[in-house]
Structure 1
Amino acid sequence: MTDPSPTPLPVTLLTGFLGSGKTTVLNGLLRHPGLSRTAVIINEFGEIGLDHELVVSTTETLVLLQSGCMCCALRGDLLDTLVELAERREAGELDFDRVMIETTGLADPAPILHTLLTSMDLSERFVTDGVVATVDAATGPDTLRRHEEARRQVALADLVLLTKTDLPEADEPAARREIAALNPAAPVEVALHGRIDPRRLTGLGHFDPTMKSAEARGWLRQEAVPVPKLADLDALRHLDAIRSVSWVIDEPISANAFDLWMEMLMAQRGADLLRFKGLIHLQGVPHPFVVHGVQHIFHPPVLLTDWQGEDRRSKLVLILRDFTDPELRDLFSALNSVAVSEHVLPVGYLSAEVTP
């Protein structure tokens, strides 16, 4: 009898545009005992400026801190770095329970998420636990308006840390408005002087099959997401090419129709669907499914144990790039008009979950 596969280790991405306070946040995290048994992959030791009194031991590529956190310098390919960490852990050389990856200020989190989800060497060892993005309250609003990289970081975030709110030039309301325009479902927390409890950075991805319906609804944060009617799409127009749109569907959905709709969307505009989250009521299924994806990558659907309250409607939140208003209207109407032949469609994303 073979041993069961080990539980994949959760991975958190810490991202943020140049000057957003990401390094200050990371400095505080590295000193916090709450980050013990965490392997942190950083770009350069020199940029972090570790205090010598915090260092327990060091090698060319690894620094062990008194907090119990291990810092690993990123050398070359991220995949190789993660595989090396995993192999050393499996060999008993290193002892850690989770991983945090610091990205560069100009990094797009999507390729990293793609690597974690599609690499055979990584997918059984690691699971994405969430993306955290830093935005500074002083220059952040202008940065988000001017830089595509910063917008993508916020659009893909599960949590946004608002930094530098204590500066005289800070405009916290403006920063929150820009963040909400890109990703209204992401909670925003103030990291005063870069300080944040590491526990707030865990469990963000919610890829837990035991997730309860109430937690899923909190994850989707329905109360913070405006629900547009088809006639109101003109009101959604932003100066930014990235927009967030939410959609409520009153009637239960055919699993095959949903799969076909997603296949059509992926084939035509998959690269421009930056992210989607949803709570889906399928025909003939009493409990809701949670769905989640980044561009072409779909996380396995999670069937919840119950509904919270009387609301049984399906809810989708899509973060899109370069969609015109007519395209959005077509997108909204397409799902209801998909012609489905139940007996000829191949088993797909959600239909596989309900096929005997």
Structure 2
Amino acid sequence: MAASAEDNENLVPVTVLTGFLGSGKTTLLNHILTATHGKKIAVIENEFGDVGIDDELLQKNSKVQADEEIIEMMNGCICCTVRQDLITVLSKLAKRVASGKLKLDGIVIETTGLADPAPVAQTFFVDDAVKAFARLDGIVTLIDAKHIELHLDEEKPEGVENEAVEQVAFADRLLLNKIDLVSEADLFRIESRLKGINAFAPILRTEKAQVSVDSVLNIKAFDLKKTLDMDPEFLNTDGEHEHDNSVSSISIIQPGNVDLELVQKWVGQLLQEKGAQIYRMKGVLSISNADEKFVYQAVHMLFRGNFDEKWEAGEPRESKLVFIGKNLDEKELRDGFNACIDTPEVLEKRIKTLRFAMGTKVECKTGGGWVKGEVVAHMYRDEFMPPGMVAPYQVKLDSGELIWAPEDVNNLIRKA
């Protein structure tokens, strides 16, 4: 389960910053490390990138270097260089915060040369120590307005991804930089192209990467609560933009409820088969037999979701899904999701696939071993079950006690 909203507020927000060589990342990072903005921010720089934080600038603005990897700046910010595993650097920061020596308002991780932020994102999904200290807040891509179209149009050898297109596709927010070097007509055309790739990332125009630190930090793009508030009109982008040939964004809004088990199978299969092509996925689902909304986020094959706030009385029950990726088949996605809609026909179909008919004598695996009984109900549910769950069988044991089998598998229920 995800952390509670209160716990999340206590975690340090982390922004992953991507952008092509020359887009202005160094200028932006130098600004964060030297400007008087009143926030304590740690900038973690990938040393293997082509662009580095200016050494002279670091020396001029740094305090004593107590650690060769962590440099404290005059304005209270921290500059770190990743010479080893990212988790190691984050652990060092976490220890300093825990000891009271350091208070952090945010972390910016610059991923020079990495179009795909999934390895960085994975750190905040799966490493327990990091999860207890920091939360992935958003992916921000800096774009050079003067040269972005050249990068987007660059022909790549077969099998090689266009990094510029991927960086746009992964973004939660796009900073369109160097707007003073192009015309308004150019900007309109560029923004249309960017929206064709990723219709869901707001675009912020900038000159010389001079943006408020607040526009990069704590944007809560990975906040499941914020996902709940996705504007249906914002999702309705059909026919609004010209789409890139291979990378695009698709939204689905579907009234009614869906079956939890069918959705889990569909999403699992989708990520297993197409996970490399699905850059980002998020949504809010209306699950049958659940009073709460199911909210989720995914980066490639990495999926996180849970039941969150309740549906309000009178609020229309509907599911909202967003996909951003390469070679997305909209019809296939819609058909796959539609097959999860909870209808009497779907229920009847699921009952037909069950192994045991009503009245069948069975044995059930319980805490006390295998116990004999008889199937008395199909697709059973009661108020004590987790949200959305439906058991394939309710069984009346020979003792007269009623139990349910959570799955139709032989190691839980078998013919007597």
* TM-score bracket for the superposition, by shorter chain length: 0.7 to 0.9
1:185 Cα deviation (Å)? 0.8
The equivalent position to 2:203 in structure 1, one of 168, 184, 188, is: 188
Q: Which residue, out of 200, 203, 224, partners 2:215?
A: 200
How many residues align? The count is 335
| Secondary structure, aligned partner of 1:304 | strand
Report if aligned partners of 1:110, 1:156 keep a CA contact under 8 Å in 2: no
Distance 1:106 1:335, change over 3 A: closer
Deviations 1:15-50 (CA, angstroms, capped at 9, x unpaired):
111111111122222223336222111235983222
Residues 251-262 of structure 1 aligned to structure 2 (within 5 Å): 251-262=256-267
Once the two structures are superposed, residues 111-163 of structure 1 have per-residue CA deviations (whole angstroms, 9 ceiling, x without a partner) of 11122212244233221011111011111122123362122222111111010
Residue in structure 2 matching 1:224, options 224, 234, 245: 234
Distance in 1 between the 2:177 and 2:164 partners?
14
Between the aligned residues of both structures, percent identity stands at 30
Counterpart position of 1:318: 323
Match of 1:90 in 2: 98
Q: Secondary structure at the residue paired with 1:192?
A: coil
Q: Which residue of 1 aligns with 2:85?
A: 77
Deviation track 1:68-121 (CA, whole Å, cap 9, x = no partner) reads: 111112212222222222233334444324321111144421111122212244
Instruction: Flag the structure with higher strand content.
Output: 2
CA contact (8 A) 1:158 1:205 kept: no
Output aligned runs, 1:54-133, within 5 Å: 54-59=61-66, 60-133=68-141
Structure 1 pair 145–314 and aligned structure 2 pair: CA distance change class (3 A): farther
Change in Cα spacing, 1:288 to 1:16, as seen in structure 2 (3 Å) is same
Judged with a 3 Å threshold, the aligned counterparts in structure 2 of structure 1 residues 182 and 302 are, in CA distance, closer, same or farther, namely farther
Select the structure of larger CA radius of gyration. Answer: 2
| CA distance in 1: counterparts of 2:111 and 2:254, whole angstroms | 37
Contact 2:61 2:74 (8 Å CA) reproduced? yes
TM-superposed deviation, 1:55: 2.6
Letter in 2 for 1:110: A
Partners in 2 of 1:51 and 1:101 — Cα distance? 17
Match of 1:157 in 2: 171
Contact 1:144 1:178 in 2 (8 A): no
By how many angstroms is 1:307 displaced?
Answer: 5.8
Aligned residue for 1:33, secondary structure, equals coil
Distance 2:105 2:289 in 1: 40
> Match of 1:21?
24
Unmatched tracts of structure 2, length 5 or more: 1-6, 155-160, 341-345, 352-376, 380-384, 391-416
Q: Distance in 2 between matches of 1:22 and 1:52?
A: 19
Contact 2:286 2:317 in 1 (8 A): yes
**Structure 1 residues 167 and 113, CA, compared in 2 at 3 Å: closer, same or farther?**
same
Q: Structure 1 residues 178 and 204 mapped into 2: Cα distance closer, same or farther (>3 Å)?
A: same
Query: Residue 129 of structure 1 aligns to which amino acid in structure 2?
Result: D
More helix by share: 1
| Further displaced range: 72-81 or 156-165 | 72-81
Describe the shift of the 1:92–1:287 C-alpha distance in structure 2 as closer, same or farther (beyond 3 A). Answer: closer
Question: Aligned partner of 2:35: which letter?
Answer: H
For 1:174, the equivalent position in structure 2 comes to: 189
Q: What is the RMSD computed on CA atoms of the aligned residues?
A: 3.3
Report the Cα distance in structure 2 between the residues aligned to 1:330 and 1:28, rounded to whole angstroms: 45
User: Could you state the TM-score of these two structures normalised by the residue count of structure 2?
Assistant: 0.70
User: Do 2:193 and 2:243's aligned partners in 1 also have CA atoms closer than 8 Å?
Assistant: no
Q: Aligned partner of 1:293: which letter?
A: A
